[in-house]
Chains A and B, each alone.
Chain A
């Protein structure tokens, strides 16, 4: 039993880390802030720990207990769970949409758009329905591969780094920070609230350590990617590119025979987006299932079909 719990903590850490990366790298939300990018990223990394430390205990109290006959508690739980479930569905849409646009724009520019959407959404729906242990195993395998790829790509990128592009600058005034706060809130804090909800429903009782640790590790992975992008391109040029990290990796070569290493970075994008979408869908299913158990069973395929339809029409 003890052994199982230790293993589960590691698995959950991996899950939280990949969720934290999610579609953040594809969206590259700091592109609007120019030279402040690295400072804001570090600020958002600190902010990313807030859900793990504050929201998780709250969700545990409200969502994990059985719904009793007390109307006040029921209303409070419903008021929390239903908006969070709806937001989780929105995160599924954003994560899937970002990955599918990225993949159809960069990986398969000329073909396979519908096939790609079908395959990816199929994986999301399937993963959201497997048991917690299945999702954990998938997370750990992906995490090990992703970490190896990110570290290797960072090391290969070192000869291309320009130290003059490095600089940590925080917003100079309250007005500047106020302009960046919505970005931080939207991109890092809110999606991680869904992860806290998922952990409150699915994780063992002491999930906060795995949640906080995983979030910190995820921020570490993001930091490596952001640093690689910044030190290769500089903040202002990186902000002009559509997918800066993929482009920063694309220029790498090892020796005379290994070129175009960006394929390894696709693993990061794929695994992180897939896991974020699957966890969000699983969280929405579980949150909705507290109140409408029969309806919740059909939520993953229905959500997958709707997203597929929108993507096909778009």
Chain B
């Protein structure tokens, strides 16, 4: 798989969807492509998060406190919060079968943002939209005042 396929995958990630393709290429180039064997862990719950993972192929199981809570497949991004702020991993990620992952390291991602302010604007926009959505959902979920 070459960098073009990775750019394809990155462009499907909501967080990066507004980025121009040249920046996506740079992001893909500075990220690490990893192969994980069946049962190998991508990260452990409670560890310091230092990178986000984009699933290029295969399937990843998400474990919280030892219980599998979800499975994610191709083009999913996992652990993206870790590259924006310092939080411990909230789940353990385990490869199901052989998976190919693009690991975006926090350090390099922040450098990229520092380098290109437009990228951070795009990301801010996506995050703001998410926050707005979450707030609305929260408001709806709250029982109406009687």
| Chain A bound to chain B | no
A→B interface (CB under 8 Å) = none
